[in-house]
Structure formats: C-alpha cells, structure tokens
Amino acid sequence: MSDAPTPLAVVVKGWPRLSETFIAQELVALEEAGHRFDIWSLRHPTDTKTHPLHDRLTARVRYLPEYLHQEPRRVWTARAVAQRLPGYAAAYAVWRRDLRRDLSKNRIRRFGQACVLAAELPGEVRALYAHFLHTPSSVARYAAIMRGLPWSFSAHAKDIWTSPDWELREKLDPARHGAAYGATCTAFGAEHLKTLAADPGRVDLIYHGLDLSRFPPPPARILRDKGASFGMLSVGRLVEKKGFDRLIDALALLPSAMNWHWTHIGGGALGSTLQARAEAAGVADRITWRGACDQPEVISAMREADLFVLPSRVAADGDRDGLPNVLMEAASQRLAILSTPVSAIPEFIDSGTHGLLSDDAPEALAKAMRALAGDPAQTAAMADAAYLRLTRSFLMQPGIAQLSARLTALTKGPA
C-alpha cells in the first residue's frame, strides 16, 4: 500500500469482483499513469478467487458499512461528524428529495454510507470518482456535497438502463449537485446520457479497450475439419441478460450427429435453474459448468475453444450488456465470436466480418452455430478480422489517457 497522498477517492459497488475486470484494468492503468487514490467499496467481496490484476493494485481498499445496522456506532459517529460539515444541509435536502421519489431501504442506506464516506475521507482528497451511475454515484454525490468536492462517474450498462430518467438528469446536471463530468464505455450509452445531460459535452465516450500486455499472443490455430469436435465457450454471469436460457434451448436444436460441447464459465443466481433446463432439454451430458474462474483460467479455455458464444438480450427490467470486455478478450485469442446485436455489441462486431450477430431466438442461434461449425475457413477469417479490429481500434491506452486527463483536471480545480 502506497503512503503517497491520495487526492482522489474511487467509489465502487464491490471490490474485488471477478466479473468486473474492466474496473480493475482501468484502476491499475491509472496508478501506472501516476494517479493516487483509495478505493471505497460499498460491499465486501463474495468471490473466492481474484484476478492477477487485483494483486497489481497498490491502492488502499476501505469498506463502507454494507448494511447500516451492522456497524451502528461507526454510522452514528460518522453522521455526527457529517452534520458539522458545511455541505451537510444541502446534501440532506438533495437526499430527501430523492427519497420522496424512491422510498426504499437502499436509498436510506446510500445516505448512511455517504455520511461515513464524507466523515472518513482523508483531508487531501480533492475529488470523488464513482464506477457505475446508480448506487455508487449516489453515495459519491451525497458525500461530495457534504465535503464541497467535485465528483465524476463512469457509467456502464445496468446503471444506465435501469435508473429512472429523473435521477440520471440530476446526476448529469452540475447545477443540481451533479457530476462535473462523466464517462461511459459505449457510443450507445453515451448517446442516451447526452440526451439527458444539461451539458452533453460533459459526457465522454471512453471505450474500456484491452491491455494486450496482460494476454498471451493468440495461439497458432489449425483449421479444423468440418466433422471434428466443435468446442463452444461462454463466459458470463448466469443472469437473465446474458441469454443462456435461450442458448441451452438452441443447443437442444442442434443435429444429433453434430459433435459439439459447450463450456460455461461464471457464477450467478440462475445456475441451478439453467442446469435443470439443460437436463430437461437432454443436453446436460454435453455441457461443462466450470463456475467462477480467474482470468488465466478464462484465457486458457479460450485458447482451447473453437467458438465463443454470448447470446446477450434485454432483460425484463431493461438491464442489458454494454460492450462486454469478454468479447474483446475472445478476439485477443483469435477465437471466433457468435453474439447478438444488443446495445453496443455491433460497435465492435460487424456481423459477417468480425463474427456473427444473431437474433437471440433459439432457432436463429442454432442456425448460426451450425453455419460456423460447417465453414471452418470463414469462421477462422472472421476471428482474424476481429483480432485486427481489436488491435487497431480497441486498445486500452487511448481511453486511459483521456480519462487520466479528466481526473487530473478534476483534482486540480473546477471543471
């Protein structure tokens, strides 16, 4: 842990998280660019593994009370300190206005966490930066008002598409104690936020990109025979928006003579439900459920697979993917990609050139899998094209330079 001054406080929902390598990659890169910060996490980790990236970070990690009743003395002591801060009355008024429109335990918890954050922030902190525009940004916003500090955010997917417009508008308006600026990782998301922002110029499009120094060069792939075993891989949480229920139904539609196997990596609440679905569909013996894996394990699986499948879709509550980093990771290993044209995925994959984008109906997914298995040469050509697109347009460094400049300006003075 570094003893250098930390002019920036980074607020995250949970740390560390296997499913959020894009955050770890960014924070490591910001440290290497000279930024100093503490991480303030709203939740304790639940994953039993970590990525090597997490071990590279030197920032101090501090945990806010996950539930207020778990640390009552800390919360009440912090609130007493917060009430003496010059911005407390303004923060309380903003929170009360929010609470009238969102009367929930979560909204109450956000304010309590914000009091702790405001009370415990080191004196050298000059700005706050939150990953995700929903809960973490609420906590950062309330605390920033209390301390009289600017704040900013990075928005991703669920936070954009499941937050009410009134809340997004206010968080995007500096006149209402909103962010000095914000970034989001897709043009699709940026366009939406700009329509809600008081000043669209304060919303930046910054692709996460990929730091290829963390990955091995792609393997020398040998063109497979049409009838050879066809290994498919998916990496993603077992939640509705990833579409794995429809993928299982699609697998059941593949010809019985087709020699295929599907491997899934990732945890999630729907694990037992999806495994039961596979049993009922009669395909369980062709599926391997590996659970949560660290990044070296994920990359090893990608190097052995023939096709990466991510059938993303819009969930019933509006949640959806942005541009999943795992697609770029698959491209880094010259692994062919089958996905769907949801959200920002077409910003990376032009269907038929860099991979295939299919409708998420089981029949359409099955047809696409058969086509990719049956044309190894075309499948390999699309994998090569995706690798070139990654290396030419989706590397991490340009985005980090843009973000670093924004954060430097934020900690040095008014936006």
Q: Extract the tokens encoding 3.
A: 């003893």
Domain ranges of the chain: 8-208+396-412, 213-393
Mean pLDDT, residues 131-160 taken together = 97
Structure tokens at 198: 């008081």
Q: CB neighbours (10 Å) of residue 44?
A: 10
Report pTM.
Answer: 0.91
Compute the distance between CA of residue 272 and CA of residue 395 in angstroms, rounded to an integer. Answer: 36
| CATH architecture designation of domain 213-393 | 3-Layer(aba) Sandwich (3.40)
Confidence (pLDDT) at 128: 98
Residue 79 has pLDDT above 60, yes or no: yes
pLDDT tens sequence across 364-394? 999 999 999 999 999 999 999 999 999 999 9
For residue 6, what is the DSSP state? -
Nearest-10 crossing angle of helices 88-101, 105-120: 160
Q: What is the mean pLDDT of residues 339-362?
A: 97
What local confidence, expressed as pLDDT, does residue 1 receive?
47
Instruction: Give the containing element (helix H, strand E) for 131.
Output: strand 127-131
Tell whether the model's pLDDT for residue 156 goes beyond 50.
yes
Give pLDDT, residue 143: 98
Instruction: Give residue 415's pLDDT band: very low, low, confident or very high (50, 70, 90).
Output: very low
* Three-state SS at 199: coil
Q: Tell me whether domains 8-208+396-412 and 213-393 share a fold.
A: yes
Query: What's the Cα-to-Cα distance from 5 to each of 9, 34, 239, 371, 379, rounded to whole Å?
Result: 11, 11, 40, 56, 51
The sign one gets for the Cα dihedral 111, 116, 122, 123 is positive
Q: What is the pLDDT of residue 414?
A: 54
- Tell me the CATH architecture of domain 8-208+396-412: 3-Layer(aba) Sandwich (3.40)
Query: Is the pLDDT reported for residue 131 higher than 50?
Result: yes
- Tell me which amino acid residue 399 is: G
- Beta-carbon contacts of 332 under 8 Å, excluding residues fewer than 6 positions away, are 210, 212, 215, 218, 387, 390
Question: Chain-wide mean pLDDT for the chain?
Answer: 96
Alpha helix segments (H runs only) across 172-293: 187-196, 244-251, 271-281
Rounded-to-integer distance, Cα 211 and Cα 49, Å:
21
As a whole number of angstroms, the distance between CA 174 and CA 127 comes to 14
